[in-house]
Amino acid sequence: MTSRPFKVVCEIEPPTRPDLMHVRHQIGTLSKVADTFLIPDNHIGRATVSSVAVAHEVQAMGGRSIACLNSRDRNMLGFRRDLLTAAAYGVEEFLFVYGDKPASGSRTGQLTVRSMIDEVRSLSEDKAFAGVAPFRVGTAAGLRPVPAWKHAADFMFVQVSFSLDALLRWRDANPVDMPVYAGVMVIASAAHANRLAAAIPDIDIPADLVDRLDGDRLAGVESTCEQVLRIRESGAFDGVHLVPVARYREVAARLEQMLK
């Protein structure tokens, strides 16, 4: 059982064009329920506006942010550029991930999540970062045993799951001394469910939820919000990593009522 306050970390959709209007709308809408915003980094292999730049925008609007950085797209020079930019913008928290298969180009192959964590931990001895507050870094975990090196992170995001029992079994089997956030995602349609199942073979989306989506476009919203409450009531996690996809307006309205 965790004694830390339960937090909702809302993922927002970064723009694929040089326009931040949609980002600002998501931030404004989800701020009713979000404690922190997570900004993906070229997620699902598409180029987007820098997660560090969007994290700075979140902070300019009064929110807290976590910028995701993937090892797929970077060599060490590019990674240090991102860290310097983050320090200049006052962005202090990161989620380091491997990264999905890119839609164009290929992986750089130079960095890993582990080497990125090691580099950040060494910055206290780097003159270029003198006077900069230490960055906080998180990692992602599947519903499998957690490698020992991931225990060096400051927080952990667990993959999206629609089963509280599966999340609790994983939590019992993987005690870690850091905040842990369980992944929850809105399924927007049956087609969305099929795409996810094809991309993430072990995601195990409930068949009855997919069936309900045919007649109720908000069934995924209701299911996700109920899962958030179940996770909170379990006391096993420090919060959730909420992925509302295109249903962020509906999620904000429903979850605001349920979390009162």
Structural domain boundaries in the chain = 7-259
**Rounded mean pLDDT, 231-235:** 97
Which residue in 141, 167, 162 sits closest to 225, CA to CA? 162
Q: Is the pTM of this model over 0.85?
A: yes
Task: For 210-224, write each residue's pLDDT tens digit.
Answer: 999 888 989 999 999
Q: How far apart are CA 34 and CA 137, in angstroms?
A: 19
Q: What one-letter code names the amino acid at 212?
A: R
Contacts of 33 (CB under 8 A, 6+ apart): 8, 10, 251, 252, 255, 256, 259
- Give the pLDDT band of residue 254 (cuts 50, 70, 90): very high
CATH (one of 3.20.20.220, 3.40.50.720, 3.40.50.1100, 3.30.200.20) for 7-259:
3.20.20.220
Q: Give me the percent of the chain exceeding a pLDDT of 70.
A: 96
What pLDDT, on a 0 to 100 scale, did the predictor assign at position 3? 84
What pLDDT, on a 0 to 100 scale, did the predictor assign at position 238? 97
**Rounded mean pLDDT, 185-200:** 88
What pLDDT, on a 0 to 100 scale, did the predictor assign at position 239? 98
Tokens in use for 232?
């909170």
Helices 21-30 & 248-258, crossing angle to 10 degrees?
20
